[in-house]
Structure 1
Amino acid sequence: MLQKVIKTDNSGSTIIIRLMVGAVFLSEGIQKFLFAPKLGAGRFEKIGLPNPDFLGPFVGSIEIACGILVLTGLFTRIAAVPLLIIMLVELQ
């Protein structure tokens, strides 16, 4: 089962999609630190999430870490789970 989770597809289209998705999450995570009042804690406070001063940097760190994992192709399936959760919460 571990081999199934670690195994990745090296086709050209998969690599392009992985690079695009990883770059988006990496840049969004960095922006949560650079523009915290608008995209980080300020945005989380605006949409009503509790404790935005903690959630802003926390979500930014998760996006950076998982974005790098997706970019490099390491543990992409595991890294996709927190990214999916972040996307679902931020949709509100």
Structure 2
Amino acid sequence: MFKKKVSTDISKTTIIIRLMVGAVFLSEGIQKFLFPTIRGVGRFEKMGFSNPDIWGNLVGVCEILCGLLLLFGLFTRVAALGMLINMTVAIIITKIPIAFGESFRPFNLRELSNYGVWSFAHEVRTDLAMWMGSLFLIIKGGGFWSLDKNMYKIK
């Protein structure tokens, strides 16, 4: 029997954050397959991941699926949690080392003209925005214009 709606924020403006975060993740996931050398498997290999083909493709697929779920507002909190974890790992592995100018073994730093706090601030800006957007969607849900608004739990 259908009893209770899945809880979501009923704000009509939540869609702005949801569409922005979903579109960025969808685009980044697609690019991991369109440009595998610089965005996908090749990038994961260059960073020092073991099994870069598995990790590069897995991250790409997750970004595409979660991006689509976010765009439609379906299982918004689950998709946002997946992308929050994704961005946390990306920040730890690819951005924090820039602040200190040292690689985390086995992960390698990218070649930048300089390292330090300001380089870190510049490089982390998009990752941090996606992290915050994902956190917002975990807290608020899909909003008024989402498929989550019309979902029911089975009891």
Measured against the shorter chain, the TM-score band is 0.7 to 0.9
Match for residue 41 of structure 2?
A: 41
State how many pairs are aligned: 89
Q: What is the deviation of 1:81? A: 1.6
Scaled by the length of structure 2, the TM-score of the pair is 0.54
Distance across 2 between alignment mates of 1:21 and 1:85 = 14
Q: Percent identity?
A: 63
Task: Decide which structure has greater helix share.
Answer: 1
Map of 1:1-92 to 2, 5 A cutoff? 6-91=6-91, 92=93
Structure 2 residue runs without a partner (length 5+): 94-155
Higher relative contact order (CA 8 A, sep 6+): 2
Cα distance, 1:8 vs. partner?
2.2
> How much has 1:7 moved relative to structure 2?
2.4
Q: Show structure 1 runs of 5+ residues with no match.
A: none
How far the C-alpha of 1:30 sits from its partner, in A, is: 0.2
Write out the 4+ residue segments of structure 1 that deviate beyond 3 Å after TM superposition: none
What amino acid is the match of 1:33? F
TM-score, structure 1 as length reference: 0.87
SS in 2 for 1:42: helix
CA-CA distance at 1:13 after TM superposition: 2.3
Contact 1:8 1:73 in 2 (8 A): no
Which has more strand, going by share of residues?
2
Q: CA deviation at 1:9?
A: 2.2
